[in-house]
Amino acid sequence: MKLLDGKELAGFIKERQAKDVRRLKASKIFPKLAIVQVKDDPVINTYVRLKKKYGADIGIGVELHAPEQKDVPKLLNRLSNDKSVHGIIVQLPLSDPSQTDEIVNMVAPEKDVDALGKNARFEPATPMAILWLLHGYNIELADKHILLIGRGKLVGAPLEKILKSSGYSIEVIDRDVKNLAEHTKRADIIITATGSPAILYPAMIKRGAVVVDAGVASEEGKTVGDLSPEVYKRDDLTVTPEKGGVGPLTVCALFENVIRAAKSEC
């Protein structure tokens, strides 16, 4: 088995980003990310801590704002007009998820580094991370049957758009499709992002396939992906590890967008 180790690639990207930030600061540009977190939740808090640490490691200032949801529109308007802020994230989920689309579209498009708004000028972080991972390990996408499982707003839908616009052959299905195995057995490359624990088992995967697990779910207090643990007993697959696959690169990709936003000042 060959592992697609996102941590290893992230280390190289992080070094390059730190140099980019130093160059920006030498030009008197000080990149800053604002995180707007409405909901106090242990999982969300962990993600926010990771982002703050990563920002500190590469020299980007990260400000955390924790308003009541009713105060978010006013805050986003202020941050969108603050020239010292280059990137803005609305950390999801909100306390009232019914307002999600309305609120993420309040972020200025040139600062929407999570690319959640309809007019965002950046690529979403997780699809970017998946493509970086595949390219970083020289996985050829041309002339391959690529299967994408999941059409979610954060991963599946934007990744489908990116791959199709690049001319790749891609099939997209939802997790509840009938006879899932019939689709997965035909695929040379499977990218799964459903957030449903263990929907893919060893017998469902073609020999020699590449499998990228971008799903995140909680099961018995643990964070798990879409792959059954038994998949890792197959020695013929190229697959993301149970931890440290797409995740580390997603944080890198997010800060790549912050750096690009700051560079637009140059």
Q: Quick one: pLDDT band at residue 219, thresholds 50, 70, 90?
A: low
Of the two residues 157 and 110, the one the predictor is more confident about is 110
Q: Quick one: pLDDT band at residue 234, thresholds 50, 70, 90?
A: very high
User: Tell me: the pLDDT tens digits for 116-146?
Assistant: 999 999 999 999 999 999 999 999 999 999 9
154-163 long-range CB contacts below 8 Å, 24 or more apart? 154/116, 154/124, 154/126, 155/124, 155/126, 155/127, 155/130, 155/193, 155/214, 156/193, 158/115, 158/123, 158/124, 158/127, 159/126, 159/127, 159/130, 159/131, 159/191, 159/193, 162/123, 162/127, 162/131
Q: Quick one: pLDDT band at residue 266, thresholds 50, 70, 90?
A: low
Enter the CATH code of domain 125-247. 3.40.50.720
Domain ranges of the chain: 24-111, 125-247
pLDDT at 209 over 90: yes
Q: pTM for the whole thing? A: 0.88
User: Tell me: the pLDDT tens digits for 24-72?
Assistant: 999 999 999 999 999 998 878 988 999 999 999 999 999 999 999 999 9
User: Tell me: the pLDDT tens digits for 146-205?
Assistant: 999 998 878 998 999 999 999 998 999 987 888 999 999 999 999 999 988 888 999 999
Q: Which CATH architecture fits 24-111?
A: 3-Layer(aba) Sandwich (3.40)
